[in-house]
A and B are shown apart, each in its own frame.
Chain A
Amino acid sequence: MTEPLLAIRNLSVGLPAGSDRPFAVEDLSLTLEKGEILCVVGETGSGKSLSAFATMGLLPTNLPKPTGEVVFEGRNLLALPPSERRKLAGSRLAMIFQEPAAVLNPVYRIGEQVGETFQLHTGLSKAEIREKVTALFREVRLPNPEEILRAYPHQLSGGQCQRVMIATALALEPAILIADEPTTALDVTTQAQILRLMLDLRENRDTGILFITHDFGVVAEIADRVAVMRHGRLVEIGPAEQVLNHPQADYTRELLAAVPKLDPHASREGLGEPVLEARGIRKIFRGQGFLGKKRVVNAVDQVDVTLRRGETLGLVGESGSGKSTLAQCVIRLIDPDDGAITIAGGNFGGLKGNALREARRRVQIVFQDPYTALDPRQSVGDAIAEGPVIHGKKKSEAMTTARNLLAAVGLEPSAADRFPHEFSGGQRQRICIARALALEPQLLIADESVSALDVSVQAQILDLLADMQKRHQFGMLFITHDLRVASRICDRIAVMRQGKIVEEGEPARLFVDPQQDYTKELLAAVPGRDWQHVARAENG
């Protein structure tokens, strides 16, 4: 039997004293073969990223030295001196990361950063390096390689940055590529292209790819084998087909069950009167673009939106499509250049000063990142009661409401006296929802409110939102880039692109029979569609 390309044996990574558990990774053993894509899946805190860092020698210095073995080409990487390891990093083992824009150094040109790998590991001249880098950019299908060489990271899109990172990783034809959630921060269509690139790499270069992700759709799309991790331990490992369709471990089954299906939710009938009517909303941003050129962006371009009581309207689209700007215009967090807004029958667009402040009570918003959306120095109860108090409620009454709301969103009423850092991400999002509902809004905006959450938590928050809507009958504008999530909760979906709504309809119609090419493209880019169809056919 031949040696595997990479063998991780009994790897353990300790956590500093005082952490909630002694090990981040515990007794992990797995192998990676040549020309194989092994997906490591798990939720936040499963230890999947730290296992990768241990393999690459990138563990934070505050962690104790990992124990066990990581064997590559006959040598245990964990036992190598730092200088030897450095020679392998970037040349034989390469890595790409989650936030492509943040992993590029902001003060250097792209060409210099990609070229650095060649400078470090080869004796090539500047001109030769330049040629190699340009060729790499072509291979990862970056447009205008010459221009990108001279650009700075902030001038590129997230997808372009990730391609640059992949080009850097491929520079010296590594035997192993470790990819840590490389598509999580990207749009679906960009994600689809990057995944395609991964498959090409396995095909053309026989690279072994360790692909870390939390997204089962992605797994279904590219994995040869799947390893499921939880709390630092390996739960299950096996061929993709087996793990996805016939999981052995209960935890895997739970995770798979929580993955939202691209399964159109039946739209509700007999909804109430409109709570939001926006007509001809327009917002233009002016700024300076690439190379100092003047740039005018029609962020929102003559958009009409109507939303009824108790209805959920999904706004889907890729980054830069204008969905968040539209929502912010509707609730006047930014002022639209043009357009009329009516909320609950009253004019909202033209209000100023006190009248606007008073009317704001009727619209509330739940943001994407529950970690930054709460003031860390304000107790949860105060955070929820603050709005009602500002709008004239007595403090004691507002606190009672806050406790009731906490119970309603599934937390202990005593949580009111605690502070945000004592709660997990999912719990914090519940608090944010309670805070938004405290003012009894008629319109709730959920701006990517479940995007930062693990799938199992995501499912709970979606259920909570639906349940709260049933009780309070608010209209909900649900912004998301995730079509699966949209299909699960929305009565109607509006697809946005370049500031315009290109198509709108009930999910049952939109997903089955999309009219516009762009909608078709978006649907086609959703990873792992076929797997869910197969799984449903087998299980149902």
Chain B
Amino acid sequence: MLRFWSIKVLRTVLTLWFVVTFTFVVLRTSGDPMMALLSPDALPDEIEQFRRQWGLDQPLFVQYLRYVGQMFTGNFGESLRTHQPVIEIILDRLPATLLLGLLSFALAAIIGIPAGVVAAVRRGGAVDRLLMALAVFGFAVPNFFLGICLILLFSLMLQVLPSSGTGTFWHLIMPVLTLGTATAGTLARFTRSAMLEQLEKPYMRAAMAKGVPAWKRIYLHAFPNAAIPIVTVIGLNLGQLIAGSIVVETVFAWPGIGRLLVSAVSSRDLAVVQGLVLVIAFTMVMANLIVDLVYGLLDPRIRGGAR
């Protein structure tokens, strides 16, 4: 077990190192960083001074080591526009995005997973068809469209919910709904197919032969096995948590990472963009690690084999 965990953690660190190195290489091959920092008509003296100041006169290898060291200590440099440290800007915005992301995720799981289970058990019936139609609707409707529809309905026509901003519980409702709908649909579909596969397994028949009641067969026997593929989908969605918030945060003027990314890109604030790329990569890698560890908890076969 210890071996299983340590292998997974080591692999994660390795992946992070790879991501950090990759951003370094991309930044260095995409042009002279000075040209991005300074205006094209800067004087050669100025450029030379900046070079020294940023350590760009050092050999590439030394630059790389310094860069990696900085990344792993959370030093992403400072914003080219506001001259605040990038890490501060990001940490300032992160809680709002996490709140939105995790709440919408919880909503998606609470609705999507049971809906998938019910659809699988009632396979082919009216309930199954209705739930699956809703699921398809959920992930087929684009985020921005659903968001705008909700604003039209609840803010403009009914005037019961605030259309943008943050602060109260009421502000959360529409962004969370918008973000959660698609994930709920995806989860419902995956849960259904994962459950259907398990319901056909011989051990389900054996459980029936033991006299296990239907609901126990579903929740105690089939579901823990179906959870293994479901966790994969959950992990993929969890990794998308920050990247997926860009559209919704823009529609609802939500002051989170997503909007920060949009504004940093449009104002060409490379240091912030780089910091955000790393944060997004970090969440994906961590989501992967969590999924791997949960696999181990769910499936004794994986745990033992350390594969």
Contact = CB atoms under 8 A, between A and B. Distances in A.
Q: Do A and B bind each other?
A: yes
Interface of A: 53, 56-58, 86-91, 94-95, 97-99, 102-108, 116-117, 120-121, 152, 154-155, 165, 168, 287-288, 292
Interface stretch (B156-164, B174-182, B276-284, B297-305): B297-305
B304 A155 contact: yes
A104 B208 contact: no
A105 B203 contact: yes
B201 A94 contact: no
Contact of A103 (B203, B211, B213): B203
Given A56-B209, A95-B206, A108-B224, 10 more contacts: A57-B208, A89-B209, A103-B205, A104-B206, A106-B300, A107-B224, A121-B211, A154-B301, A154-B304, A165-B206
A97 B210 contact: no
Nearest to B199: A61
Contacts of A90: 209-212
B206 A103 contact: yes
B207 to A, nearest CB: 7
A120 B213 CA distance: 9
A103 B208 contact: no
Q: Decide if the interface of chain B is mainly helix, strand, loop or mixed.
A: helix
Contacts of A56: 208-209
Contact of B225 (A103, A106, A288): A106
Most chain B CB atoms below 10 A, which of A95, A105, A106: A105
Nearest to A116: B210
Contacts of B83: none
Most chain B CB atoms below 10 A, which of A91, A154, A165: A154
Interface residues of B, number: 24
B300 A102 contact: no
A86 B217 CA distance: 12
B299 A107 contact: yes
Contacts of B301: 106, 152, 154
Given A154-B304, A155-B304, A103 B202 contact: yes
B205 A58 contact: yes
Nearest to B209: A95
B211 A58 contact: no
Most chain A CB atoms below 10 A, which of B1, B209, B305: B209
B221 interface: yes
Contacts of A97: 202, 205-206
A107 B296 CA distance: 11
A209 B148 CA distance: 67
A88 B211 CA distance: 7
Interface string B212-243: 11000000010011000000000000000000
Contacts of A91: 211
A288 B305 CA distance: 6
B300 A152 contact: yes
Contact of A107 (B3, B206, B211, B300): B300
A168 B211 CA distance: 12
Contact of A116 (B212, B300, B305): B212
A282 to B, nearest CB: 24
7 contacts: A58-B205, A86-B211, A105-B225, A106-B225, A117-B211, A154-B301, A292-B1
B191 to A, nearest CB: 17
Nearest to B214: A82
Contacts of B205: 53, 58, 97, 103
Contact of B211 (A106, A120, A155, A165): A120
B210 A102 contact: no
Nearest to A112: B220
Nearest to A290: B304
Contacts of B209: 56, 58, 89-90, 94-95
Contact of A106 (B206, B299, B306): B299
A107 B298 CA distance: 7
A532 B212 CA distance: 43
A89 B208 contact: yes
Contacts of A105: 203, 207, 221, 224-225
B238 to A, nearest CB: 22
A88 B208 CA distance: 11
B201 A102 contact: yes
B208 A58 contact: yes
Interface string B1-24: 101000000000000000000000
A165 B202 CA distance: 12
Nearest to A93: B209
A189 B116 CA distance: 45
Interface in B1-54: 1, 3
Contacts of A108: 224
B6 to A, nearest CB: 13
Most chain B CB atoms below 10 A, which of A57, A86, A88: A86
A338 B224 CA distance: 44
Most chain A CB atoms below 10 A, which of B210, B298, B301: B210
A288 B304 contact: yes
Contact of A120 (B201, B210, B305): B210
Contacts of B221: 105
A288 B301 CA distance: 11
Contacts of A98: 202
A56 B207 CA distance: 12
A107 to B, nearest CB: 5
Nearest to B299: A107
B210 A89 contact: yes
B5 to A, nearest CB: 13
B304 A152 contact: yes
